[in-house]
């Protein structure tokens, strides 16, 4: 029997160092200075105008792009001054952009701008810049900026292309509608919790219908929906969320949204730190560790904590490694929530067997070779080998068996399975830390696997998969070799 420990709050890690502080300037109606008439300077002038700035361009010669831009600015006016810049031109400016040919000119421009107290950027000369322009995804008023601090602009452009594909252009209309509705919502007399629920309703609708134009009656419809919830809008809730086997990229979009809307996150030891990075920074994170054969929080304590937090109006995310519904005690936690009248929702995750098999490109079922796959636990609630395993199904050569948490019971399990008909030459693999950077794989005949696992003692949660389809891994790597850090 494992010793118990109490749920404990974790201290949020400090933010990692920033190469640049992302700041969005309000330039509507303010003045901006641009020195130079090159196409590159024209692009910066276009950005400033699009943000609402009145742009004064100082250049003796201007490109066709700059001339056309001045005739048709996207928003704020662009005035061309056919001369070089002067120190007095910076007075009253909010920002200054220099299209300078050499370092000497750049140095003079920067010195004059800073003397006037104006933030300055010199095109393509990062060391002279107080701020930089990143790659932009424009769904205004939803605007995303991407910066690599000048190290890899092409990388930023590639990320921008990905984000452009992920964010439908219709989001701009919903973001604009949200800006219009905000004053009315404040006057609607809703509590903070109900207002937050309103924005969740709006966001969910926008995600499902991004290209639909927000209608005049949408605000009242969403408001009525929240008011119709009554006390439920004020009540807390619980979401059981699958964190997957370890790789943060295997999180579902729904899991990410849950983490970003949580007030409190209760997580297990098996949840990797990279997954918690998806949570909003304001969320309180509490370790309610449950680790086999190590001090663990009692399930009753976790249930009580979860219910009490939800009763106090908190949105609780119970974050579990793998899938909550597979050896995750989800049934007990769902029952505790329902008994207390707490709304509970489940967000499935990729279970360890799926993640490990996918990383190794090993199918769990295959026509003509396996008819089924089964998941079994390697230990009972008391830590010993479960007494009620179906040994006949485990010995079935047409079955792939995934054994969860068998670290201390594998020898006993294999020994008994061999006496009940399991072929000792059946291919098997043990995977430690499935899908993580330090994933370790041991491929071996099932009769030899417990000895190999004990000898090599790999770090991380252990999963064992047994069945003829594991032979592909044995042929690939040899039964006598351990493969660590498997390539993705």
Topology of the domain covering 237-350: Cobalt-precorrin-4 Transmethylase; domain 1 (3.40.1010)
Predicted local confidence at residue 154, as pLDDT: 77
Model pLDDT, residue 160: 83
Q: State mean pLDDT over 462-477.
A: 90
259-307 pLDDT, tens digit each: 988 889 999 888 888 898 888 877 889 998 765 555 678 888 999 999 9
- Among residues 89, 247, 268, 323, the one annotated as catalytic is 268
Mean pLDDT along residues 431-442: 93
Question: Is 300 an active-site residue?
Answer: no
Q: What is the pLDDT of residues 155-206, one digit of tens each?
A: 888 888 888 877 788 888 888 898 899 999 989 888 877 888 888 888 888 8
Q: How far apart are CA 200 and CA 237, in angstroms?
A: 14
* Residue-level pLDDT at 372: 94
Catalytic residue among 290, 320, 323, 396: 290
Q: What is the pLDDT of residue 306?
A: 93
pLDDT range class, residue 481, cuts 50, 70, 90? very low
Q: What is the pLDDT of residue 290?
A: 61
Active-site residue flag, 284: no
* 367-425 tens-digit pLDDT: 999 999 999 998 887 778 888 999 999 999 999 999 999 988 999 999 999 999 999 99
Superfamily of domain 31-133: NAD(P)-binding Rossmann-like Domain (3.40.50.720)
CATH of domain 353-484: 3.30.950.10
The whole-number pLDDT of residue 234 equals 65
Q: What is the pLDDT of residue 480?
A: 43
For residue 400, the model assigns a pLDDT of: 96
Averaged confidence pLDDT in the chain: 88
pLDDT for the residue numbered 397: 94
pLDDT at site 272: 85
Query: What's the pLDDT band for 431 if we cut at 50, 70, 90?
Result: very high
> How much is the average pLDDT of 323-344?
93
Task: Quote the percentage of the chain above a pLDDT of 70.
Answer: 93
Token duo for residue 16: 């990692």
User: What percentage of the chain exceeds 90 in pLDDT?
Assistant: 56
**Which of 302, 306, 244 is closest to 278 using CA atoms?**
244
């Amino acid at each position: 029997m494992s010793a118990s420990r109490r749920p404990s709050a974790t201290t949020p890690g400090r933010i990692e160092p920033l190469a640049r502080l992302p700041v969005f300037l309000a330039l509507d109606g303010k003045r901006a200075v641009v020195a130079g008439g090159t196409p590159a300077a024209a692009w910066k002038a276009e950005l400033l105008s699009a943000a609402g700035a009145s742009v004064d361009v100082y250049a003796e010669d201007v490109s066709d792009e700059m001339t056309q831009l001045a005739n048709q600015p996207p928003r704020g006016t662009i005035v061309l001054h056919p001369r070089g810049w002067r120190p007095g031109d910076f007075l009253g400016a909010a920002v200054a952009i220099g299209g300078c040919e050499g370092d000497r000119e750049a140095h003079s421009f920067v010195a004059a701008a800073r003397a006037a107290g104006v933030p300055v950027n010199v095109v393509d000369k990062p060391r002279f810049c107080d701020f930089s322009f990143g790659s932009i995804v424009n769904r205004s008023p939803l605007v995303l900026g991407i910066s690599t601090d000048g190290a890899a602009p092409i990388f930023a452009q590639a990320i921008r292309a990905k984000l452009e594909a992920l964010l439908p252009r219709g989001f701009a209309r919903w973001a604009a509608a949200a800006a219009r509705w905000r004053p009315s919502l404040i006057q609607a007399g809703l509590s903070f919790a109900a207002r937050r629920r309103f924005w969740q309703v709006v966001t969910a609708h926008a995600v499902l219908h991004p290209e639909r134009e927000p209608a005049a009656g949408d605000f009242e419809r969403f408001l009525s929906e929240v008011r119709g919830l009554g006390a439920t809008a004020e009540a807390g809730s619980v979401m059981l969320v699958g964190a997957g086997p370890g790789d943060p990229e295997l999180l579902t979009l729904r899991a990410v949204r849950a983490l970003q809307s949580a007030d409190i996150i209760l997580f297990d030891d098996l949840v990797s730190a990279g997954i918690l990075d998806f949570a909003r920074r304001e969320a309180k994170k509490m370790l309610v560790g449950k680790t086999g054969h190590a001090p663990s929080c009692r399930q009753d304590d976790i249930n009580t904590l979860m219910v009490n937090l939800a009763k106090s109006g908190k949105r609780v995310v119970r974050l579990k490694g793998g899938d909550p519904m597979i050896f995750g005690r989800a049934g007990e936690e769902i029952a505790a929530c329902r008994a207390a009248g707490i709304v509970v929702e489940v967000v499935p995750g990729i279970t360890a067997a799926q993640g490990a098999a996918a990383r190794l490109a090993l199918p769990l079922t295959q026509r003509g070779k396996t008819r089924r796959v089964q998941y079994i636990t390697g230990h009972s609630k008391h830590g010993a080998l479960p007494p009620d395993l179906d040994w006949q199904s485990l010995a079935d050569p047409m079955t792939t068996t995934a054994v969860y948490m068998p670290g201390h019971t594998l020898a006993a399990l294999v020994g008994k399975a061999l006496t009940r008909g399991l072929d000792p030459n059946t291919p098997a693999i043990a995977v430690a830390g499935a899908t993580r950077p330090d994933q370790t794989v041991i491929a071996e005949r099932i009769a030899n696997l417990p000895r190999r696992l004990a000898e090599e003692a790999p770090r991380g949660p252990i999963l064992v998969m047994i069945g003829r389809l594991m032979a592909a891994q044995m042929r690939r790597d040899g039964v006598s070799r351990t493969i660590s850090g498997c390539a993705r």
